[in-house]
Amino acid sequence: MLHGKRILLNAGPTREFLDPVRYLSNGSSGKMGYALAQAAKAMGAKVSLVSGPVALDPPEGVETVPVVTGQEMYEAMLGFLDHADWVIGCAAVADLAPVSCGEQKIKIDKETGKLVVELHPTRDIIASLASQRRDGQIFIGFAAETQNVAANAKGKLIRKGLDYIVANDVSQPHLGMNADHNAVQLYGHRGPFASLGPALKDQIAKDILSTIARSIEK
């Protein structure tokens, strides 16, 4: 179904460093992104995966580029962008980063017992890439939400300039982030068009790709 397509995607968390030993991150395991990469490969696509730090083996037959920070992830994806047919933003990129990174371990104030950190928003990778799209490219994002899932997903679809978005409620037990199972809703510009799962992420990945491919062909 994806024979000959070139698919670029990211997966896993990113880390934004406060000092040499501390960083901001999240609980993403990368399992959904890796399942998508493996499924796309099995469906005939040539796949490039840019991965944050995860405890997973690279998918067989998939060009995998390991990165750590959000900026590294963006730069790696940018290098593949011109040749990609589909771009999938599945990574849980850290939303905030320290304004500066200490060269040495920062000490907590002995008098107050506090450590005050100034943060700034990080680059929205999938939105930045979508703003540089060429004709014919398809951009797919993910929205991991804990409330107002549909409204937040639809807002991101428009705001980020995407063609499709995959929304999942990560507040549900045993579904979503760092779990083996998932349940998702697919949205396009004509509204919701598929509800997938609960199922193992391998199956969800196949269903996401095949459902979007059929939608594009209509």
Strands 23-24 and 16-17 turn out to be: antiparallel
Q: What type of residue is 6?
A: R
CA 137/CA 135 separation, integer angstroms: 6
- Backbone torsions φ then ψ of 71, nearest 5 degrees: -65, -40
Distances in Å between the Cα of 111 and the Cα atoms of 102, 114, 152 are 20, 8, 42
Which candidate, 115, 119, 117, places its Cα nearest to that of 95? Answer: 119
Catalytic option among 26, 148, 168, 182? 26
Active site residue 152: no
Sequence-ordered list of residues with C-beta below 8 angstroms from that of 34, at least 6 positions apart, any chain = 11, 49, 51, 54, 56, 59
65: amino acid identity, one letter: V
Helices (H), the chain: 31-42, 70-81, 125-130, 149-159, 201-217
Residues annotated as part of the active site: 26
